[in-house]
Amino acid sequence: MPNPKHRKSKSKTRMGRSHHALKPPSLGKCPNCGEMFLPHRACPACGFYKERQVLDLD
């Protein structure tokens, strides 16, 4: 079984963890109402996706 020969130093552990931060989600602007929305999802404000109504909002 492949096994690490030495324990990683605190420094090396922390260096690896420097890449673990989460990025804020990317947002697009709705072309219909100008609201911010998550890409590849219908706009939560007006229910539009790909320039047509896809959600039935009240």
User: What residue ranges bind Zn ion (CB under 5 A)?
Assistant: 30, 32-33, 35, 43, 45-46, 48
3-state SS record for the chain: CCCCCCCCCHHHHHHHHCCCCCCCCCCEECCCCCCEECCCCCCCCCCEECCEECCCCC
**Of 13 and 53, which CB lies nearer to Zn ion in the complex structure?**
53
Least distance (Å) between residue 20 CB and Zn ion: 33
Query: Is 33 or 54 the residue whose CB approaches Zn ion more closely?
Result: 33
CB of 49 to Zn ion, least distance (A): 9
